[in-house]
Each structure stands twice: as structure tokens, then as C-alpha cells.
Structure 1
């Protein structure tokens, strides 16, 4: 699911943009042969940049931002937004294309010129969607993680293990150690898609990096970073985890070591 914000003071323009997004979503679903079509986007509209900035909590993947608005204008709002979140994608909405050229200073993804028409909008959206990290996370075996105010798209080769310590969840990854606010339980389904296996109430390991396993522990390699880490294998999960890891290792291979 892609979370969008529309920051536009003109009601008619905001409604038209919503209808175009819904149409684009339906067309993409039909193209992929999905019936009934799923809801690709969640959309939240803000009538002013000030109300948007006040409510912003880094939950959005893409922001459609009108440049000319009363109060804080779109360009100043984008500068404030970019200082808070370096990863969110910004698309400007403007009546004059030259205003959108200033968007390079805030790393805007694209711009849409008013008045809106669907053919041009659809062409823009295809390009925008190909560039969104959240879309790449949906189309590939990867997950989107928020950590310390930044978003990370992590593939199956990026996550070594997930561990809970002192009630805090951290991911050991190719990008370093990433603390997250989510619980291990809420992350489990996403991590399983990447090939991670739950070995205890406090840990999941990526089978690709398992180098050793016995009845009480699992050792995981961390390529190019810290030494291998040995994590406890709980008695309650031992049989199921060992069977699952053995099956995955047999079918998918591993980085190396002895199991």
C-alpha cells in the first residue's frame, strides 16, 4: 500500500487529483490481471501546507504539493519537509512550470502542471511509480523499514538477523544496525518473505547467512561487518526452526559454513 498526501488549497483540483489516482490504480490492477482491483493508494488531503506540516509523521511515501498556497507556500513547505524527512518523495503541482524548476533544491521527484488532464497525469504517474522505493519494495522480495527518521528498502540479501534486546527491536543489515519501533511479531510476516526464520521469542535469522546450527543456538554470518553472531535457539521452537532452516538451506543455498 502506497500512502499519499495531497496538499492543495483548491477543492476542485484536489478532488480531480484524487479521481485520477483512483483511475490510475484501477488501470494498473486490470493490467496486472487482478480482479477485483485492490486499493493501491491511501490518500489524505490537506488544504494548507501548515496543516500538513503540523500533522506530518513520516508515514507518507509520496506528497503532491501545490506551490502557490495561502500561508506557507509549497516551496517553503518542501524545504521544511525535506529537513524532517530526507526520503519522502515530493511531486509539485503548479500552474507555471518555471516554479517547479526550483524543486531541484529539495530533490523533488517530478512536477505536474495545471490544469490537470488524465493522459499527461498517467504518463507522469508511470514514471513516478517506477522511482518510488515503496513500489520497489512491493514488486521485489524486499521490505520497507523506517529507522531513525529514514526509510530503507531491504532485500533478502540485506537482512542478516532481527533481534530483541531490552524490549527494543533491531535489524542487523548491510546498511548497519537499524533500530525500529515495530514489534518483532508485527515484522514477522515481512521478514519471512525474505527467508528469515523465527528461532525464539526474541530473534529471527536469515537462512542464507546461517553458518552453524545445533540444538541450542544458531550462528549467523555478517558479511563485511562484525564477526559472526550466535543467537539462542529456544527449546519450544527448536524442532520447527531446525526443520525450516534445513529445508530452506537445502533448496536455496547459503553463504557458507556447517549446519
Structure 2
């Protein structure tokens, strides 16, 4: 994947160095490319927010703008960046969830736990990248980002692809479309329906709810589907 852009916001030079060394080790062990910068105060990242950030590591207790306040300002402009709090002030954990923090990394940093957090973060970053597939719609070839496909259904001997923005009629069978999509992300819940696990909100006794739409699930597929769904969602927690 592309280089992972990271910003460390830490006013303690030693703690910042420890985090940098942990990132270097993770990059070496996972053949990853990491581009990291270090800032010394929350106000620095708020006033000069670096473009295209993937991950921010925020100390909570800093001499200037604290990490929680900085995180609120960051969230106001960037809903997708992954935020990790690196702190010994675990009592603020609940407040951290208000800014959709991914996790708390408690000082002193323990590398095995840090590495596990980073692995999940990298998976989440890779997941939201654009992955285009080609679909046939009449005489046209349509390029669709598969991560934006919520579900696909059979419709009048054709297929109807529902994305988060619109719906596209395809001249291909559901089975043909299924072969083009990531089997780890899409699941055939019914002979007539294929769903993107990322968009599943909940599961009822008879249906899978995908962004408010109830989609029937076959009885003989449900047990395996629940296992696959749990494994998929667990990768991003």
C-alpha cells in the first residue's frame, strides 16, 4: 500500500522518540512505508493540519492545547483520520470515545499491544482506499469503487448494484459480479442478494439490515454468515 502518513503530537521528547522507534520497528516487521512527523503541542496540529493524514498519535496532557481539545478540533475537519491517545491518563477513556478515538495506548508503551493496534489501523486504512471493478451496463463499461457498493440484487434477469450514492443496472448475473468482488468483504446471504459486510448495521432473525434496508437471509447461510461477519467486524475494532 502507499506510505502511511502519521503525525505524533507529544511534548515529551523521550516519549516521542519511543513512539518513533516503535513505528520504525513495525515498518520493518511488516514491510510497510511510514512517513511520520512530530509536533510538540496540540495547537500546532490544529493550526497547521498536515494534509492527507492517516493516523494521529495524541498525548492527552500537554503544556499547551491538550490532546482531547486537539482531537475535537481535528474531528471537525477530518472524520476519517485514525486517532490514538498515548497517555497514562486512562481515566479520560470514555471522553475519548466522543471524538471516535480508535484506542488508548498506555505509557509506558508495550510493543506487542502497540503492534496489534497498528495492524488493525493499517487494515482500516487499506479498506477505505479505492478499489475499482468494471461492470457491464448495456453497451457501456462502468467503473465502480467496490468499497462503495452496499449490496447487489438480482432484478429482472439482470443485477442492480446499490452504492452509497446511486443504483446501477448491470447486464451481468449476480454470480458474475460476485466473482469480481473481494470474497472477504462480500457475502451471498441469499440466492438473490450479495451484501458488503462493511455496511451491515444489524441482523434480525430473518433479515440483514444494510444501511436501513432489510435484506432476506437464507436459513442455511445464516450461521456461517454470522461467523464471517464477526470476523470481519473484529478486524476493525
Interval of TM-score (by shorter of Structure 1 and Structure 2): 0.5 to 0.7
CA contact (8 A) 2:4 2:33 kept: yes
Partner of 1:68: 61
Partner of 1:13: 15
CA contact (8 A) 1:9 1:47 kept: yes
CA contact (8 A) 2:60 2:89 kept: no
Distance across 1 between alignment mates of 2:119 and 2:168: 43
Cα deviation for residue 125 of structure 1 reads: 2.4
Q: Which runs of 5+ in 1 are unaligned?
A: 30-38, 138-143, 145-153, 157-193, 195-206, 213-217, 229-248, 254-259
Distance across 1 between alignment mates of 2:168 and 2:79: 31
Distance across 1 between alignment mates of 2:10 and 2:131: 35
TM-score normalised over the length of structure 2: 0.56
- Structure 1's 220 and 93: CA in aligned 2 closer, same or farther, altered over 3 A? closer
Partner of 2:223: none
Partner of 1:211: 138
SS in 1 for 2:109: coil
Q: Which runs of 5+ in 2 are unaligned?
A: 144-159, 170-175, 181-237
CA contact (8 A) 2:135 2:141 kept: no
Partner of 2:126: 135
Report whether the alignment pairs 1:92 with 2:19. Answer: no
Distance across 1 between alignment mates of 2:111 and 2:52: 27
Instruction: After superposition, give the CA deviation of every residue in 1:55-91 in whole Å (9 maximum; x if it has no partner).
Output: 2144101100110011110001101111111111100
Deviation above 4 Å: which 4+ runs of structure 1?
Answer: 218-224
Paired residues, number: 151
Alignment partner of 2:112 out of 92, 107, 119: 119
- Structure 1's 209 and 70: CA in aligned 2 closer, same or farther, altered over 3 A? farther
Distance across 2 between alignment mates of 1:227 and 1:22: 44
Cα deviation for residue 210 of structure 1 reads: 4.4
Q: Which runs of structure 2 are paired with 1:57-206 in the superposition (5 Å)?
A: 57-130=50-123, 132=124, 134-136=125-127, 144=129, 154-156=130-132, 194=133
- Structure 1's 23 and 51: CA in aligned 2 closer, same or farther, altered over 3 A? same
Larger radius of gyration: 1
TM-score normalised over the length of structure 1: 0.52
Distance across 2 between alignment mates of 1:129 and 1:220: 29
Instruction: After superposition, give the CA deviation of every residue in 1:159-195 in whole Å (9 maximum; x if it has no partner).
Output: xxxxxxxxxxxxxxxxxxxxxxxxxxxxxxxxxxx5x
